[in-house]
Amino acid sequence: MSNSSLIAYTKLSPNNSGKRKYPITKITIHHMAGNLSIEQCGEVFQSRQASANYGIGSDGRVALYVDEANRSWASSNADNDNRAVTIEVANDGGESSGWHVSQRALEACVGLCVDICKRNGIKELVYNGTKHGTLTMHCMFAATACPGPYLKSRFPWIADQVNKILRGDTSAGSVPVSFVPAKTEEEGGLDMATIRTLTTAQQDTYDELVKTVQILLNAKIGTKLAKDGFYGPKTAAAVKTYQSKNGLAVDGMAGPKTLSKLFGV
């Protein structure tokens, strides 16, 4: 079992269980809940009773903390950590941004996942929103906000990009992150596929589009949502109010019908 050749920095953590019990068949992506450099994260894993196989900084650099051959202490779940390569990704924005992740870090994450899949014979990264997929997240195993709303919304894109590259599809990597349909699950969500059919702003980022929804809600139902681009509980509650006033199913999700109504289509 080898480690990735993409690593720019190595700081092995003593916090691991030694050799894995099972072959590598999964990848679990976490967030740091802070904008730590890969060196700072490496320091944290020297002392705190936690670790991950790899770390990715907002600058896109990759670090090795636990050899792939060994089980890291990352996901609050022994079975998952015995099967998964675990990755900690830095946040270039705080909680109010939904724990935003830089595009460089996201692209590095895709590259690292491809490399892990290739070396370990994983043919496809399956993200199906459950712990039974081959791409998993911390909150599937424990009551944690990890990996945060923004990174969660990127999981379908990450899996799609990785699989395109694994299949040799040359269009992979050419799709900017901001074009990617995204939907947060637990905090409510925005149906990007629909919103793009309603706006000509093809280059809008997810955050900008959430902002537009917040502005429209403020204008139409008189809420005073912060125009911060974060689809949090307050925005979800305003969407519910809007839905109930407009005879729509009240679920707090900005799905196709709600967006069509909101955008006046």
Provide the minimum distance between the beta carbon of 149 and Zn ion in the complex, in angstroms, as a whole number: 14
Among 138, 154, 164, 211, binds Zn ion (CB under 5 A): 138
Provide the minimum distance between the beta carbon of 151 and Zn ion in the complex, in angstroms, as a whole number: 10
- Dihedral of alpha carbons 4, 7, 12, 16, sign: negative
Would you say 30 or 154 has its CB closer to Zn ion?
30
Would you say 142 or 215 has its CB closer to Zn ion?
142
User: What is the spatial distance between Cα 123 and Cα 117, in angstroms, rounded to a whole number?
Assistant: 7
| 146 burial type by CB count under 10 A (0-12 exposed, 13-18 middle, 19+ buried) | buried
Judged by CB under 5 A, the stretch of 58-66, 112-120, 131-139, 232-240 that binds Zn ion is 131-139
Structure tokens at 89: 């990704």
Task: Please give the residues from 67 up to 86 whose contact with Zn ion meets the rule CB under 5 A.
Answer: none
Would you say 74 or 262 has its CB closer to Zn ion?
74
Question: By the 8 A CB rule, do 64 and 3 touch?
Answer: yes
DSSP codes of every residue in 32-66: -SS---HHHHHHHHHHSS---SEEE-TT--EEESS
146 lies in the binding site for Zn ion (CB under 5 A): yes
Provide the minimum distance between the beta carbon of 206 and Zn ion in the complex, in angstroms, as a whole number: 21
Would you say 81 or 191 has its CB closer to Zn ion?
81
Number of residues that bind Zn ion (CB under 5 A): 3
Provide the minimum distance between the beta carbon of 178 and Zn ion in the complex, in angstroms, as a whole number: 25
30 lies in the binding site for Zn ion (CB under 5 A): yes
End-to-end CA distance of the chain: 55
152 lies in the binding site for Zn ion (CB under 5 A): no
Convert residues 81-120 into a mask of x (bound to Zn ion by CB under 5 A) and - (unbound): ----------------------------------------
| 117 burial type by CB count under 10 A (0-12 exposed, 13-18 middle, 19+ buried) | buried
For helices 148-167 and 103-120, angle between their N-to-C axes, nearest 10 degrees: 50
Residues lying near Zn ion in the complex (CB under 5 A) are found at 30, 138, 146
